[in-house]
Amino acid sequence: MKKVLETSISPNYVPDWELPQAVREIVQNTLDENGEIEYEEGTLTLTTKNGGIPHSMLALGNSGKRGDETKIGRHGDGLKVALAVILREKKPILIENGGLIWEPKIGTNSSLGCECVVIEETDTGERNNTVKITIEDLEEEIEEICESSLQLQEIVFGLDLETSETLYGDLIFNEELKGNVYVNGLYIQHDSNLKYAFNFNPRYVQLDRDRKAINFYELLRMIAKLVVSSNDVAVIVEALYDSNALENNELSYYLDEADESTQEEIVKDYCSKRVGRKSKIAFEAEPEVTFDNVVCIDDNTMEFLKENPSLVEKKFVYVHESDDYLRRFVNQASDDEYFSKEVHLRKLDTEIKIYDYKKNQRPAQLAFFNQSEFKKQVALINRLVALGAAPEDIEYLRKNLLSKNSTTRFIDILNEIDLDKVTDEDYQLK
């Protein structure tokens, strides 16, 4: 018995979609259901065994995958849109739907009076849980179609993937795929600044209906988390060291998510690469870089140590690093009490504050002192002392005259000034 299922989907729906996008939708639906895919002589066969497609799924927006984070298709449009495009491209398609035979065609919707996708349904009288979709006449388009799916490339062209599996997806090393971004095997986008290819777990990535791109900042975050979770020291260090690589952007934020042993190797390998650069503080007989003895310093600390070499401790290897997160990661506490990086860094921080004060705030306060009314009064009193004024008069002036003048702007250096030696000339601190 045959009947016609009318939809409201125009064959001109999503005019920017072509055959590869349509086929990849059906391929992805099959992969989401852990189905099987076969290709032979221009015919693509996709089979799932999780139950038939109910009539309600022909309505736009209805999806059996909404709320399932492990699957990409959650918008309810994929199969319907794919049918419109495949029919528009005049490719034969047949759906064996749990004992029903669906033949999608372009026909007239009797209610709307316009061309729409319609499905001629034949009931075989049998029922099963299998859905089998057959798309024919794909010889000319199969190469372009396969570019949209890693699984199709494996099935049709025998692609041998070189990957590192992680919680967030796969890190792909194949040179011919470099720069590609996939989600559950579905091609999403390409970026020439990537050193590798990435195939993300759909649980951690949100896509729009067209599945054309991932939000750029979300992509950077996911790349960093995937690279770190690989615990591949060589890959992580290479990415850290290449500031032009897209993998580098957010990487230092997530380094502490790597395994503990991996973290130690990252510190040793990365900092060993930095040793010998002109920006590094050098000294004779420097020790070999280890997790416990390497200290990352910023610009300010580097300049401070260059001007104060006596504070350089030879048991440490100092490496200049501008990335705040990476410095904190390298400088984290170690178990070695002898090296105690944190203690050394706290000591350096105190010395730098004193140094900065003397270098910057101290001269400024001295300038305020030399221009102050307080200093003029002190110089006047000292002249009177030199002229032999009575001690009680001098004491009176010091108590009553000086107390009326503010010392706030140079209070920090007042204890360094010998007031008995103040004259009309600018005072110099030792």
User: Could you tell me which residues come within 8 angstroms of residue 219 by beta carbon, excluding any fewer than 6 positions away?
Assistant: 181
pLDDT in tens, the chain (430 residues): 689 998 889 999 989 889 998 998 899 889 888 899 999 999 999 999 988 888 888 887 766 554 444 443 433 477 888 999 999 999 999 999 988 999 999 999 888 889 999 999 998 888 899 999 999 999 999 999 999 899 999 999 999 999 999 999 999 999 999 999 999 898 999 999 999 999 999 889 877 656 667 888 999 999 999 999 999 999 999 999 888 888 898 999 999 999 999 999 999 999 888 875 544 555 555 678 888 888 899 988 988 888 888 888 888 888 888 899 999 999 886 666 666 888 888 899 999 888 887 778 888 888 999 999 999 999 999 999 999 899 888 888 888 878 778 888 888 888 889 999 999 999 998 7
Tokens of 244: 């032009």
Q: Is residue 318 within 8 Å of residue 297, measured between CB atoms?
A: yes
Rounded Cα distance between 22 and 79, Å, is 8
- Whole-angstrom distance, CA of residue 106 vs CA of residue 90: 10
The one-letter amino acid at 17: W
Chain CA centroid to CA 320, Å? 23
Instruction: Report d(CA 97, CA 104) in Å as an integer.
Output: 12
What does the alpha-carbon distance between residue 94 and residue 80 come to, in Å, rounded to a whole number? Answer: 14
Please tell me the pTM assigned to this model.
0.73
Overall size of the chain counted in residues: 430
Q: What is the DSSP string of 57-107?
A: GGSTT--S-TT-TT-S--SS-HHHHHHHHHHHTT--EEEEETTEEEEEEEE
